[in-house]
């Protein structure tokens, strides 16, 4: 069958292009992982400058938000409920 070989011939270069695209995707993936690196840098920067004093500050971002706190849906900062722009909305006054 001549048709069979005709179909096989063009497929091979197509597969090579696919593998090239996979390589491109893999190259982009480490860039996305850079976000995690930033978080690690932040954690390190908290520990670097200091001693025991920063230990107390460290617990602030780590501890989950309290019942009287909310997380602003715009700036993603945890705010006290007093900073809430309006009841029922997770938006702080700064972002309202
Ligand atoms: Zn906000």
Q: How far is the CA of 90 from the centre of ligand 1 (A)?
A: 8
Q: How far is the CA of 19 from the centre of ligand 1 (A)?
A: 44
Q: How far is the CA of 86 from the centre of ligand 1 (A)?
A: 12
Reported pTM: 0.34
pLDDT band at 87 (very low <50, low <70, confident <90, very high): confident
Q: How far is the CA of 64 from the centre of ligand 1 (A)?
A: 17
Q: How far is the CA of 4 from the centre of ligand 1 (A)?
A: 62
Q: How far apart are CA 19 and CA 82, in angstroms?
A: 54
pLDDT band at 45 (very low <50, low <70, confident <90, very high): low
């Amino acid at each position: 069958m001549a048709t069979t070989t005709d179909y096989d011939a063009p497929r091979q270069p197509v597969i090579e292009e696919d593998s090239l695209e996979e390589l491109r995707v893999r190259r982009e993936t480490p860039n996305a992982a850079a976000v995690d690196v930033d978080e690690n840098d932040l954690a390190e920067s908290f520990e670097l400058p200091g001693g025991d004093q920063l230990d107390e500050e460290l617990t602030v971002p780590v501890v989950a938000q309290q019942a009287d706190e909310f997380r602003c849906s715009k700036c993603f900062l945890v705010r006290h409920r007093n900073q809430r722009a309006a009841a029922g909305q997770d938006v702080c006054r700064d972002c309202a």
